[in-house]
Amino acid sequence: MTCLTGQKAMITGGGAGIGRATAIALAKNGADIAIFDLDPDAAEETCSLVRAQGQKAVLCQGSVSNSDDVTAAFSRMDDELGPLSIMVNNAGISGNKPTLELTDADWERNIGVNLNGVFYCSRAAGRRMKDAKSGVIINVGSIYSLVAPPNRLHYCAPKAAVEMMTRALAVEWAQYGIRVNGVAPGYVQTQLLDELVEQGRVDLDGILRRTPQGKLPVPDEIADAILYLCDPRSRAITGHMLPVDGGWTAYGFI
């Protein structure tokens, strides 16, 4: 067990998938949780699951790409839960489109959510953690910050920037007792992936052949990696992006 008793965590994109699994994992280990999500119904369902673990939960509705929404979400957490100690930047959107077909709106939307949202929330968290002289920030990146696929520039570019943001903030904020790390999930078994497979946009058999473990991670396994990076036993780890992909990025044999 990880002891997070008394810890207060904010999780963006906590209404489903990895975000929901992370909320439950942290709550099971004693943390109170603020769920920041664009979908209030999904967020409230996650809050109910957190409360079922005996922990407090608060819903913060809004978009991480809007700095005013971020300010409001952190203010609500301050008022209803107390001092922030764990920030999980999980909110994100996918992108699969040839670069020459990208519109300005496509580009700006991905940058807004996948990069600006991480910056806005990390800045707000860092200001609070600096005063407390402690804190943990976990950024959910992607294997596509480590390797380059076609037709995903507007997804890969912000995810690569998030990896460098993780390192830069870890170096800058270590003096304040703040650790900044990330996880880089591969393809994860979720409803979204199922839909992409059905649409013919993802070759599941090809992915599995390239994955040494022969199976895709599930959200709970990503959440376990995040939980470890929140654990005081990982106190010497900062500035690290941990792939959680069944060996996908390590595999180089053809």
72 within a domain of the structure (yes/no): yes
Residue 254 banded pLDDT, cuts 50, 70, 90: low
User: Does residue 214 form part of some domain?
Assistant: no
Q: pLDDT tens digit string along 126-148?
A: 999 999 999 999 999 999 999 99
Catalytic annotation, pick one of 155, 187, 228, 251: 155
Banded pLDDT at 252 (limits 50, 70, 90) = confident
Burial 211-224 (b: 16+ CB within 10 A, else e): beeeebbebebbbb
Q: Does the residue 250 lie in any domain?
A: no
Within a domain: residue 1? Answer: no
pLDDT at res. 1: 64
**Is residue 2 pLDDT above 80, yes or no?**
no
- Domain span at residue 149? 8-188+219-244
**How many domains does one find in the chain?**
1
Asked if 176 is an active-site residue, the reply is no
pLDDT at 40 over 70: yes
Examine residue 108 and state whether it is found in any structural domain, yes or no: yes
pLDDT tens readout for residues 54-107:
999 999 999 999 999 999 999 999 999 999 999 999 999 988 899 999 999 999
* Residue 83, domain CATH: 3.40.50.720
Q: Is residue 194 part of a domain?
A: no
Report pLDDT for 253. Answer: 75
Q: Which amino acid is at 207?
A: I
Question: Could you give the CA distance from residue 224 to residue 209 in angstroms, rounded to a whole number?
Answer: 24
As beta bridge partners, residue 57 has 33
238 touches 180 (CB < 8 A):
yes
Residue 124 lies in a domain: yes
Render pLDDT for 165-210 as a digit per residue (tens, 0 to 9).
999 999 999 999 999 999 999 999 988 788 888 988 889 999 999 9
In a domain, 202, yes or no: no
Report the alpha-carbon distance of residue 56 to residue 115 in Å, rounded.
29
The pLDDT > 70 percentage for the chain reads 99
List all residues 6 or more positions away from 154 whose beta carbon is below 8 Å from its beta carbon. 95, 97, 99, 102, 106, 107, 110, 111
